[in-house]
């Protein structure tokens, strides 16, 4: 009887207001990742040198306050080595993006917290959903904390944040979005939507794993400003494999860790990022063709068509971003490239979530 009650509890219909709240949460996280990408691409991430959760809510409100903030920024390596001579009006521009990034995070916290308490008191959140939301809060807290660790890595000796920490922060941000998506899908379709063979499931898992690897490499590309070094396609400044990668003496732990002192990691990361893109499109198209022959539901066929369209769009945006570095930082293309990656990962994960718990269903889903 206890197992039956738990199963029925898992199948509770998601309340309309809770569903809207979760969807709003996805939209806010999507916006936060987008703003974070623009902040990184415009070099704005180090403009605010302090971590103030409450008092940092308001921006400088007078010229004296702006001068104090500017003085703090002038003490950073980024100002001394890259932006020396920047005017206070130019500082206000980069300050805007980092401030908006932090302010958006505060909005997300408030918009999540108050409805959460209200829904909980009204009994609209069953125990399993409460547990998942608790994990989401923990994950969001880790992401925010790691964001400051990332920023701090560029305030002492380096003019930019550490690329490894930046990529880790990016993956954490993506994981918050994907886990909230899992919660929404799990609650909206407690029995999933159909099943598919184990081989196709393994192909999907491989595809998702490669997307995650590609996102990490993309973060490394951004953190290292690698696009400026090799802004050509399909070759890398006239060659398939840069010479720096062919010299064995360059392959040291020091060069892998201290990538600023060597061109090895810049070349390696961009080379791997391109190679992974080629593998992704091959596996993605193969997976799509497998499903064209399979007897799958209309919903799956539709999502596969969208997935392939997004995959091809992502490759095109990646090429446009690389070529765009010939004229400077391609903020628009790079931002679209990052968000397209999130959409691609979300589509693949949604399909996985629809099937990951079907074998545990007690009652057949009406969507089969």
User: How open is the CA angle 163-164-166, to the nearest 5 degrees?
Assistant: 60
Checking if the pLDDT of 48 tops 70, the result is: yes
C-alpha 318: how far from its chain's center? 16
Interval 26-30 mean pLDDT: 95
End-to-end Cα spacing for the chain: 27
Provide the H-helix boundaries in the chain: 2-10, 16-41, 63-74, 77-81, 88-121, 127-152, 163-188, 198-224, 243-246, 253-257, 264-293, 298-324, 331-355
Please give the mean pLDDT across all residues of the chain.
Answer: 84
- What is residue 362's predicted lDDT score, i.e. its pLDDT? 36
Residue 236 three-state SS: strand
pLDDT band with cut points at 50, 70 and 90 for residue 210: very high
Quick one: CA torsion of 242, 248, 254, 259, rounded to 10 degrees? 0
- State the sign of the Cα–Cα–Cα–Cα dihedral 152, 134, 113, 346: positive
Half-sphere exposure (CA, 13 Å, Cβ side) for 184? 22
Phi and psi angles of residue 239, each rounded to the nearest 5 degrees, phi first: -130, 160
Half-sphere exposure (CA, 13 Å, Cβ side) for 70? 17
Q: CA-to-CA distance for 220 and 216, rounded, in angstroms? A: 6
- What is residue 3's predicted lDDT score, i.e. its pLDDT? 43
Contacts of 305 by beta carbon, 8 Å cutoff, 6+ apart: 288
Are residues 314 and 228 both part of a single domain? yes
Are residues 204 and 116 both part of a single domain? no
Least confident of 13-22, 187-196, 266-275, 343-352: 187-196
For residue 217, count CB atoms less than 10 angstroms from its CB and return exposed for 0-12, middle for 13-18, buried for 19 or more.
Answer: buried
Checking if the pLDDT of 291 tops 90, the result is: no
Phi and psi angles of residue 236, each rounded to the nearest 5 degrees, phi first: -115, 90
- What is residue 360's predicted lDDT score, i.e. its pLDDT? 42
- What is residue 133's predicted lDDT score, i.e. its pLDDT? 93
Structural domain span for residue 87: 1-188
Are residues 230 and 166 both part of a single domain? no
Residue with tokens 């608790």: 134
Checking if the pLDDT of 356 tops 60, the result is: no
pLDDT band with cut points at 50, 70 and 90 for residue 204: confident
Identify the domain boundary among 170, 188, 206: 188
Contacts of 186 by beta carbon, 8 Å cutoff, 6+ apart: 132, 353, 357
Contacts of 309 by beta carbon, 8 Å cutoff, 6+ apart: none
Interval 303-329 mean pLDDT: 92
| pLDDT tens digits for range 236-269 | 999 999 999 999 999 999 988 888 888 899 999 9
Interval 220-232 mean pLDDT: 91
> Is the Cβ–Cβ distance between 202 and 349 less than 8 Å?
no
Number of structural domains, the chain? Answer: 2
Are residues 59 and 4 both part of a single domain? yes
Are residues 179 and 202 both part of a single domain? no
pLDDT band with cut points at 50, 70 and 90 for residue 30: very high
- What is residue 83's predicted lDDT score, i.e. its pLDDT? 82
| pLDDT tens digits for range 95-133 | 898 889 888 988 888 888 899 889 998 888 888 899 999
Are residues 268 and 179 both part of a single domain? no
Are residues 270 and 335 both part of a single domain? yes
pLDDT band with cut points at 50, 70 and 90 for residue 5: very low
Checking if the pLDDT of 317 tops 90, the result is: yes
5 vs 135, more confident: 135
Are residues 152 and 233 both part of a single domain? no
Q: CA-to-CA distance for 22 and 26, rounded, in angstroms? A: 6
Are residues 211 and 179 both part of a single domain? no
> Is the Cβ–Cβ distance between 316 and 144 less than 8 Å?
no
Closest C-alpha among 346, 339, 237, 218 to residue 276: 218
Are residues 237 and 111 both part of a single domain? no
Residue with tokens 């130019």: 90
Checking if the pLDDT of 6 tops 60, the result is: no
Tokens, residue 79: 């100002």
Q: CA-to-CA distance for 62 and 59, rounded, in angstroms? A: 9
Checking if the pLDDT of 361 tops 50, the result is: no
Are residues 230 and 169 both part of a single domain? no
| CA-to-CA separations, 235 to 53, 264, 275, 320, in angstroms, rounded | 46, 17, 11, 14
Checking if the pLDDT of 155 tops 90, the result is: no
Identify the domain boundary among 155, 188, 221: 188
Least confident of 22-36, 85-99, 293-307: 293-307
Strand partners, 236: 239
Are residues 145 and 203 both part of a single domain? no
Identify the domain boundary among 188, 205, 237: 188
Q: CA-to-CA distance for 308 and 317, rounded, in angstroms? A: 14
């Amino acid at each position: 009887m206890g197992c039956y009650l738990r199963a029925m509890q898992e199948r509770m219909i998601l309340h309309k207001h809770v569903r809207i709240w979760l969807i709003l949460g996805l939209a806010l996280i999507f916006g936060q990742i987008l703003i974070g990408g623009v902040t990184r691409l415009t070099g704005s991430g180090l403009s605010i040198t302090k971590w103030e959760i409450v008092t940092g809510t308001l921006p400088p409100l007078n010229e004296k306050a702006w001068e104090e903030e500017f003085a703090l920024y002038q003490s950073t390596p980024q100002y001394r080595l890259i932006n020396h001579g920047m005017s206070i009006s130019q500082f206000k521009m980069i300050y805007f993006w980092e401030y908006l990034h932090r302010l958006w995070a505060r909005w997300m916290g408030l918009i999540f917290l108050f409805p959460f308490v209200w829904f909980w008191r009204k009994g609209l959140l069953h125990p399993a959903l409460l547990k998942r939301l608790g994990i989401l809060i923990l994950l969001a807290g880790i992401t925010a904390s790691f964001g400051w660790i990332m920023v701090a890595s560029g305030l002492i000796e380096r003019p930019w944040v550490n690329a490894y920490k930046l990529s880790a922060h990016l993956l954490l941000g993506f994981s918050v979005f994907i886990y909230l998506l899992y919660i929404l899908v799990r609650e909206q379709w407690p029995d999933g939507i159909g099943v598919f063979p184990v081989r196709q499931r393994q192909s999907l898992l491989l595809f998702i794993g490669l997307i995650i690897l590609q996102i990490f490499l993309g973060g490394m590309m951004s953190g290292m400003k690698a696009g400026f070094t090799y802004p050509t396609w399909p070759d890398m400044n006239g060659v398939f494999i840069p010479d720096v990668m062919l010299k064995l003496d360059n392959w040291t732990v020091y060069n892998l860790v201290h990538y600023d002192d060597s061109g090895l990691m810049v070349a390696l990361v961009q080379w791997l990022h391109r190679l992974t893109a080629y593998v992704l499109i091959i596996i993605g198209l193969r997976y799509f063709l497998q499903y064209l022959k399979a007897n799958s539901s209309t919903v799956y066929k539709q999502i596969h068509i969208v997935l392939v369209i997004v995959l091809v769009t992502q490759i095109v945006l990646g090429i446009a971003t690389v070529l765009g570095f010939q004229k400077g930082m391609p903020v628009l293309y790079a931002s679209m490239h990052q968000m397209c990656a999130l959409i691609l990962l979300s589509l693949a994960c949604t399909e996985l979530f629809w099937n990951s718990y079907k074998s545990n269903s007690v009652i057949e889903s009406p969507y089969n």
